[in-house]
């Protein structure tokens, strides 16, 4: 039905009162806006059309975000399109989805990269339309718990190394979830502090000892450069330099002219641990 008034609001109120409806139970469409003439006089009244919502439409309007079951179906669809034999199930009482796979390594990927990507997409879908962010966890074969235990052990190992060497220890890039685990593990340390540096997706953690030697170079704990640092430490302890810095590669060929230090500066911080919600 159509209703008129000096303004859209007036026409709407008149129509709701006549139909005995609340605003949330009605579908309101503005047919015509009011037109004012000279001196603000209403030349043409506003027209609105009001109809009662059906229960189906009302339910659809009230629901503005996906349920955990719908996100589970979304994850299952992703797995199917990736040709991965697996089933996505909802963990009872939690905002979490467990993936039961025939080959878990296909789901997890290298250091959790594939699982992180699935969780990022599922989390984005789960939070569309929500006012408050809801954390969603996607796991496979308890990978998250095992990875957390590994990172906590790594954090304490590097805490001891930084304290012993009295120099910064630089970790390889990690996603926000994994960086948070490292920060939390060392938050109550009496010998070191942690901070994050860099930009995503190459943001990494630096562990700094409280009694840091200001003239020391950072120790790179990344997998690729860690071997070079370990070799350099051994050479320093034995009072000799890296032969490749002074005498070439050691196989009779001439050196390229680039020292180990120059090569190190051109390198990165090791392998990337994941992608993924920022600390």
The tens digit of pLDDT for each residue in 5-58 reads 888 888 889 888 888 888 888 888 888 887 776 666 776 888 888 888 775 455
Residues 174-186 have a mean pLDDT of 94
Q: Which residue has the tokens 């962010």?
A: 133
- Give tens-digit pLDDT for 206-263: 999 999 999 999 999 875 444 444 454 455 445 444 444 444 444 444 444 444 444 4
**Residue spans per domain, the chain:** 2-62, 68-141, 145-245+259-266
Beta bridge partners of 194: 207
d(CA 5, CA 15): 10
Tell me: the pLDDT tens digits for 93-142?
789 999 999 999 999 999 899 999 999 999 999 999 888 899 999 999 99
What was the pLDDT predicted at 57? 57
Q: Is the pLDDT of residue 75 over 50?
A: yes
Instruction: Please tell me the predicted confidence (pLDDT) of residue 23.
Output: 85
The average pLDDT across 146-162 equals 96
Band of the pLDDT at 79, cuts 50, 70, 90?
very high
Cβ neighbors of 55 (< 8 A, separation 6 or more) are none
Which position has the higher pLDDT, 256 or 170?
Answer: 170
Structure tokens given for 113: 């990269």
Question: Looking at residues 187-202, what average pLDDT do you find?
Answer: 95
Q: Could you give the CA distance from residue 75 to residue 68 in angstroms, rounded to a whole number? A: 10
- pLDDT on residue 173: 94
Assign domain 145-245+259-266 one CATH number from 3.30.1370.50, 3.40.50.80, 3.50.50.60, 2.40.30.10. Answer: 3.30.1370.50
What pLDDT was estimated at residue 201? Answer: 86
264, 167 Cβ separation under 8 angstroms:
no
Residues 6+ apart with CB under 8 A from 90: 68, 69, 72, 96, 97, 98
Summarize the confidence of residues 82-101 as an average pLDDT. Answer: 93
CATH architecture of 68-141: 2-Layer Sandwich (3.30)
**What is residue 225's predicted lDDT score, i.e. its pLDDT?**
44
pLDDT of residue 144: 93
**pTM summary value:** 0.56
274 pLDDT higher than 90: no
Q: Could you give phi then psi for residue 99, rounded to 5 degrees?
A: -105, 115
Whether 171 shows a pLDDT value over 90: the answer reads yes
């Amino acid at each position: 039905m159509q209703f008129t008034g000096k303004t859209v609001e007036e026409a709407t109120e008149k129509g709701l009162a006549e139909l005995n409806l609340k605003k949330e139970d009605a579908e309101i469409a503005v047919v015509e806006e009011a037109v004012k003439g000279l001196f603000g006089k209403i030349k043409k009244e506003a027209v609105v059309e009001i109809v009662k919502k059906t229960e189906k439409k009302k339910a659809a309007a009230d629901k503005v975000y996906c349920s955990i079951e719908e996100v589970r179906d979304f994850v299952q669809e992703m797995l199917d399109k990736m040709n991965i034999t697996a089933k996505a199930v909802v963990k009872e009482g939690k905002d979490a989805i467990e993936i039961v796979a025939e080959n878990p390594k296909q789901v997890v990927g290298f250091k959790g990269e594939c699982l992180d990507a699935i969780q990022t997409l599922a989390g984005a879908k789960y939070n569309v339309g929500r006012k408050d962010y809801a954390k969603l966890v996607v796991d496979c074969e308890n990978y998250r718990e095992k990875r957390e235990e590994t990172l906590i052990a790594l954090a304490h190992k590097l805490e001891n190394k930084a304290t012993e060497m009295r120099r910064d220890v630089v970790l390889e890039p990690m996603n926000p979830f994994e960086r948070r685990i490292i920060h939390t593990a060392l938050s109550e340390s009496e010998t070191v502090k942690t901070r994050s540096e860099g930009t995503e997706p190459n943001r990494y953690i630096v562990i700094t000892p409280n009694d840091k030697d200001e003239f020391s170079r950072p120790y790179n704990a990344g997998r690729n450069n860690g071997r070079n640092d370990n070799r350099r430490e051994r050479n320093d302890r034995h009072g000799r330099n890296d032969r490749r810095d002074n005498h070439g590669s050691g196989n009779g060929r001439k050196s390229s002219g680039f020292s180990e230090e120059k090569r190190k500066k051109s390198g990165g911080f090791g392998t990337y641990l994941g992608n993924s919600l920022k600390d």
